[in-house]
Structure 1
Amino acid sequence: MSLPLDTLVDVLKTVGEPTRFRLLALLSRGDLTVTDLTEILGQSQPRISRHLKLLAEDALIDRYQEGAWAYFRLQQDGAGATLVRTLLSTAAADDPVLLRDGERLSAVKRQRAERAQAYFSRNASEWDELRRLHASDAAVEQALLKLVGTAPIDSLLDLGTGTGWILQLLAPRYRRAIGVDASRDMLSVARANLDKAGILKASVRHADILNLPLEGQDFDLVTIHQVLHFLDQPELAIAEAARILRPGGRLMIVDLAPHKMEHLREDHAHVRLGFSHEMISDWLEKIGLELDKTIDIAPDKDDGLTVTIWLARDRRMLMADTPPAAAISVLQEG
């Protein structure tokens, strides 16, 4: 990628100021707020905000709102971002200023992780109870990875990302990824997990999955993992996912097969007691997606819940003779 001379000079002038260079170095290592950056750099909030504004004007960083907080991160795409990453790579690894910034960043991330862990611990027993009811995570993981395949994924969107499990699982496959969730507490857990795993090419955002603040046709894989059963109108979430798929892009849905555990409505806020193959297939058909495969993963226990994975594809780049969807039953031995 190349930049016109005037643009190149402007970017170099912007990056060349010491505080702004330090900000870019920090934002290349994950999402941070103004408060985080103020604490790390020891400068006033108005000063930090002014520098961030200049970096944003040159399209070097992204800004997104999460309630009362604004998060910033280094842009992943574009010639300016590429130039910034090149400049950052030339900085001496033993520079005392950058080393000190890195140490303070680690302290901020530790605090973030401790807050997330506190929330996780308060809810861990409930999540463990649910996980014991259905097919094992290992079985779901194996089936999901097999369906996704080994081809590189340019851009991934995970709807209802929760703890960020999908973002971690598929990290070796994608170039960039975004996870969205309506719970700010869960986003804190997901951020902490991404920090711990050292995954810098994924970020998480606060958003309503029924009304995403994202441009259409921007992702080549969208995942919806164990989310639809919490929704009154899950078909709207599927339609929104289809809206942002690129031509030929894929949608992967992971959820529960039909069951009769009524207590999940009251105890765990489940609105739907699972989904049949026919129901999901009909919804996909109505919004113009082609169902490729459906996999049922049986639970370890006879009275447990079956997990189903549906993989669909945007029709706009499919051949007319695409074979019909196949239903595969994957049984777990007890």
Structure 2
Amino acid sequence: MNNMISFPVLRFAELTFSLIPKKPYTLPSFLGSTLRGALASAMKRITCVARRRSSCADCDFRHACYYAVLFETQRPQWAELMPKMETVVHPIVIEPPLNPSHKDSNEPIIFTVRLFGRATNASPFVIEACRRLAINGLGKDRYPFELEEVRDPSQQGAILYSKDNPEYGGYPSVRTMSCEVQSPPENLPLQFLTPTRLVEDGKLLRSPTVEALVRAIVFRIRAIGYFHDAKRWDPDIEALQRATKGVKITSADTSFKRLERLSTRQQRKVPLDGFVGRITLAGETLGSLYPLFAAGQVLHIGKGTVFGLGWYKICGL
């Protein structure tokens, strides 16, 4: 069976940032939550025109302000799908550096921000926010950095911003995810690079299942497409179930990674635990699901994607 599961074409753009330290720094080994917090704070200072309001949910500009669109994403009144979701998925993911240590380091911090759908128009504001977060500093000790450059990784690393030429050099190219695949492989190795938080029956999974992975990818495609790219997808559930049953995990080398972040808003530590490691998928219907797994590595899956969680790659691509 090789009838590929089809879904709407989704748009995205990528920005790769390079921050140069002004002095040696010590930061958490996982920088996803640090970068997200600093980027959101800088973005709010740039774009928010109603700071006296208690929350974005009460603001008349909540669907136009790029801070709200990216980080306090509100459910639009016209939405019909997923009625239980008061707030909707964020059209942004961060791919942090995967260095095991940032202690007394002089190494540059290189990370990627990916924007989806209409949020691709926010690129210049994200660049300016990153320039300011570098000046403001990272971590509780506010280690200072300088934004050296911003590149578009899809255009042979085309430079969009440079500290030596601080005028913004345009928007990154808008790319598309689609279900078109030339020749899907017989085996599909997946490497989970950051903790992946999938919930099943109200419980956090300590290791992946094919069913949970497919559900998470389908949810991301539907939510990102519907809320941020004007693309409604009502998948054939029976076809998905048949395809999922035909795929198995043939090998697995995963572990459960403990991780947490300090929530400034909640004034408490919030868990970011999830599984990491490598699995291999195989089965007679793998070709049907391959486009979903290819899309999932771009979208990230599970909870906490805005912090860089749920990031996996298809090995060999």
User: What TM-score does the superposition give when structure 2 sets the normalisation length?
Assistant: 0.26
Tell me: higher relative CO, structure 1 or 2? Use CA pairs within 8 A at least 6 residues apart. Answer: 2
Greater share of strand residues, 1 or 2? Answer: 2
User: What TM-score does the superposition give when structure 1 sets the normalisation length?
Assistant: 0.25
Greater share of helix residues, 1 or 2? Answer: 1
